[in-house]
């Protein structure tokens, strides 16, 4: 893939917007261009009234391997995480939380690896369909960090609190099959993209107005703990402190072979 190709592609047909993370040579790892591409896709779809449902997937052999370690290892890329750039969220949180702010349902088709920030992006979808062999992990504990891309408010609507704690504290990998058992994904399918498209066509049978209303109500009904804005800011505050400590730097340097 050449640099001229977009990091994220969007194709809208008959009310279905197919959004594809498009950095297959790096398993769709998140770098500056990928962050910009995802934010742009969220903004574009949010401004369209011809989209009734979104299918989000990744090109190549994985959905998303998480943040590019070379990008994470450069402090200049991070800035002050406490600054709210997108309403309640900062830029990093918006690439995951932003899918929840889109008016219509979002279905994520997951395969390969779905790690760290990639998992948090998937959690932003309303529905997640994964291959049974997909590998998913919160992952941030490996780098001495916490999930700060809206992971906490998104996890609480998917899995039990004790399960979320285990996943965050250990960073352990779960298969798509186990993820379905614990609620991390909705269900599994041998061809998650095909199943996501089938479901999207089924959803098209509902009026757009009813879909928008239903999603708006779910946003209120599932927010039964602390307000999302408070949790998003808490993520940023804690991560900002961790990023200025020595431990993440040592772990990243070791991972990059330094």
Per-residue pLDDT, 4: 67
Q: Is 30 exposed, middle or buried (0-12, 13-18, 19+ CB in 10 A)?
A: buried
Q: How many CB atoms lie within 10 A of CB 183?
A: 15
Structure tokens at 16: 């279905």
Q: Minimum mean pLDDT among 48-57, 142-151, 213-222: which range?
A: 213-222
Quote the percentage of the chain above a pLDDT of 70: 95
Tell me the pLDDT of the chain averaged across its residues: 92
- What are 86's strand-pairing partners? 89
Mean pLDDT over 118-137 rounds to: 98
* Domain ranges, ordered by start, for the chain: 8-192+203-207+224-255
Per-residue pLDDT, 1: 41
For tokens 């190549």, name the residue: 60
**Fold of the CATH domain 8-192+203-207+224-255:** 2-enoyl-CoA Hydratase; Chain A, domain 1 (3.90.226)
Q: Helices 91-101 and 32-46 meet at what angle, rounded to 10?
A: 30
Mean pLDDT over 5-24 rounds to: 97
Phi-psi category of residue 189: left, alpha or beta, with phi > 0 → left and psi -120 to 50 → alpha: beta
> Are 252 and 73 a contacting pair, CB within 8 Å?
yes
Write down the pTM of the prediction.
Answer: 0.89
For tokens 């899995």, name the residue: 159
Per-residue pLDDT, 222: 62
Mean pLDDT over 34-42 rounds to: 98
Q: Is 65 exposed, middle or buried (0-12, 13-18, 19+ CB in 10 A)?
A: buried
Alpha carbon of 230 to those of 146, 185, 242: distances in Å?
Answer: 16, 25, 19
Residue 196: name the closest of 105, 61, 103 by CA: 105
> Are 35 and 7 a contacting pair, CB within 8 Å?
no
């Amino acid at each position: 893939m050449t640099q001229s190709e977009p990091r994220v592609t969007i194709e809208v047909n008959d009310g279905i917007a197919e959004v594809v993370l498009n950095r297959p040579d790096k398993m769709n790892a998140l770098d500056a261009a990928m962050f910009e591409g995802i934010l742009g896709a969220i903004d574009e779809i949010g401004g369209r009234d011809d989209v009734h449902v979104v299918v989000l997937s990744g090109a190549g052999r994985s959905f998303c391997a998480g943040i590019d370690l070379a990008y994470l290892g450069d402090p200049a890329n991070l800035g002050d995480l406490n600054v709210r750039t997108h309403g309640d969220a900062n830029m990093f949180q918006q690439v995951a939380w932003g899918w929840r702010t889109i008016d219509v349902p979002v279905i994520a088709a997951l395969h390969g690896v779905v790690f760290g920030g990639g998992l948090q992006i998937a959690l932003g979808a309303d529905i997640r369909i994964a291959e049974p062999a997909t590998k998913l992990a919160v992952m941030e504990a490996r780098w001495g960090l916490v999930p700060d891309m809206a992971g906490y408010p998104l996890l609480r609507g998917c899995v039990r609190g004790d399960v979320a704690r285990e996943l965050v504290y250990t960073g352990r990998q779960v298969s798509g099959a186990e993820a379905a058992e614990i609620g991390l994904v909705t269900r599994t399918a041998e061809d998650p993209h095909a199943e996501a498209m089938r479901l999207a066509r089924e959803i098209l049978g509902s009026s757009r107005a009813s879909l928008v209303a239903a999603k708006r109500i779910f946003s209120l009904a599932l927010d039964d703990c602390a307000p999302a804005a408070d949790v998003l800011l808490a993520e940023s505050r804690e991560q900002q402190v961790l990023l200025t400590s020595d431990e993440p730097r040592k772990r990243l340097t070791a991972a990059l072979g330094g």
